[in-house]
Structure formats: C-alpha cells, structure tokens
C-alpha cells in the first residue's frame, strides 16, 4: 500500500513538473521560425545569458546576438532590444550585448537597451509596457524559446521566435538547461496566470513613435 502511494505521488509530481513544458512546447510549435523564413517584425528581443569574467558576452549570449545580427542584416527586423541584468555597476549585461552587436556592424541608433530584464517575465512585461513594443521576434536558444514565447504572448505581446542554436553545446550544459527550464516554466505559468507580479518599471521609452510599428 505504501509503495502504491509513493509511486502515485511520484507520478503526480512528474506530471506537475512536466505538464507546463508540454503546454508551452505545443503552444510554441507554430510560432518557431528560422532566420530565413521568419516574418518581418519591427523589433527583435534578445534575452541576456550571462557574461564572462572579462565582462564580454558568454558563448551562449554571443550566439543570441549573432542570430539577431542576421535578422537585422537580412531586413527582418528594424531594431534590436537587448534585455539583461544590470543590478550591479560591475555587471552590465545589456551594455556588453550592445558593444558586441556594434562590433558586428549594427548601428548604435538601432540598438535599445533594457537594463532591468532580469528574468524572461520581466523582459516581456517591460518590452510591452516600457518600450511599447506591439509585436516582436524573440531570439534565444531552443530550450528557452517555448517559455519566452508563451510568456510574451500571455502578457499581451504577440511574438514568434528564432532559435539561436548556432553550435553544438556540451551535453552537461544541455542537461542543466533543460532541468532548470522545467522549474522555470512551472514558475512562469504560475506568474502569468496566478500571481501576475509587476517587475521594475519606470517612464515609458517607446522604441517607435506611436503607430510606427
């Protein structure tokens, strides 16, 4: 009897943990594109992914920026919204993203920085309410896209996604990301549909004049 109860509890726990992943992945499928076939959009939102010790973008973050550069260079987007963490003076994720994008040939005037994009939820929320983005292309790795696309759309920001998987990542890294994403997706659905927290805000900073998108 105890064994049956234990197995049942484990099964329920797995269902609770994995169901959000299934929901977001199914939701995302018709909204996934490549650089070549993604519909044109005014803005590409690039999510932060950490810096190296020297303050430059991590390899994962460089892949995201490189993909955004491709979108811009091919005329698929007009502006790049670089969203990351800048809670500490010595850690400026959006600034490092901008510098790398400029080194890849993106004009500085077409790069917009969100210094309070600490989490995916915050980035999507602020893109809509602070930067007044009306529709966007999200740029991140495939493991992160389902959550990002689901959150942005659920917060009222219509978005599609382009994968930034431009290389083979280490198996351990993949395993860690997928494990982390399982928990993060569960939290994301709770926030979107139940707790609905309000992130750090401020005065509106529209990327485009009203009605220009």
Each residue of 86-118: pLDDT tens digit? 988 889 999 999 999 999 999 999 999 999 999
Domain range list for the chain:
28-195
What CATH number does domain 28-195 carry, 3.30.930.10, 3.40.50.620, 3.20.20.70, 3.50.50.60?
A: 3.40.50.620
> How many Å apart are CA 116 and CA 94, to the nearest integer?
9
Each residue of 32-60: pLDDT tens digit? 999 999 999 999 999 998 899 999 999 99
* pTM for this predicted structure: 0.89
Q: How many CA atoms lie within 13 A of 126 on its CB side?
A: 25
> How many Å apart are CA 175 and CA 164, to the nearest integer?
17
> Which helix (H) or strand (E) segment is 201 a member of?
none
Tokens 């602070």 appear where?
Answer: 130
């Amino acid at each position: 009897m105890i064994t049956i109860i234990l197995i049942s509890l484990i099964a329920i726990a797995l269902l609770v943990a994995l169901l959000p992943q299934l929901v977001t992945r199914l939701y995302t499928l018709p909204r996934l594109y490549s650089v070549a076939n993604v519909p044109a959009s005014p803005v590409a939102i690039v999510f932060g992914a950490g810096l190296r010790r020297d303050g430059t973008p991590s390899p994962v973050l460089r892949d995201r920026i490189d993909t955004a550069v491709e979108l811009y260079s091919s005329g698929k987007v007009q502006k790049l919204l670089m969203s990351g963490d800048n809670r500490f003076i010595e850690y400026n994720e959006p600034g490092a993203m901008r510098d790398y994008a400029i080194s890849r040939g993106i004009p500085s005037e077409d790069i917009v920085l969100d210094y309070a994009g600490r989490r995916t939820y915050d980035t999507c929320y602020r893109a809509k309410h602070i930067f007044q983005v009306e529709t966007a292309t999200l740029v991140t790795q495939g493991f992160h896209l389902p959550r990002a696309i689901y959150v942005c759309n659920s917060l009222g920001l219509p978005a599609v996604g382009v994968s930034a998987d431009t290389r083979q990542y280490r198996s351990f890294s993949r395993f860690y990301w997928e494990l982390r994403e399982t928990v993060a997706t569960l939290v994301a659905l709770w926030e979107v549909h139940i707790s609905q927290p309000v992130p750090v805000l401020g005065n509106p900073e529209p990327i485009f004049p009203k009605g220009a998108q």
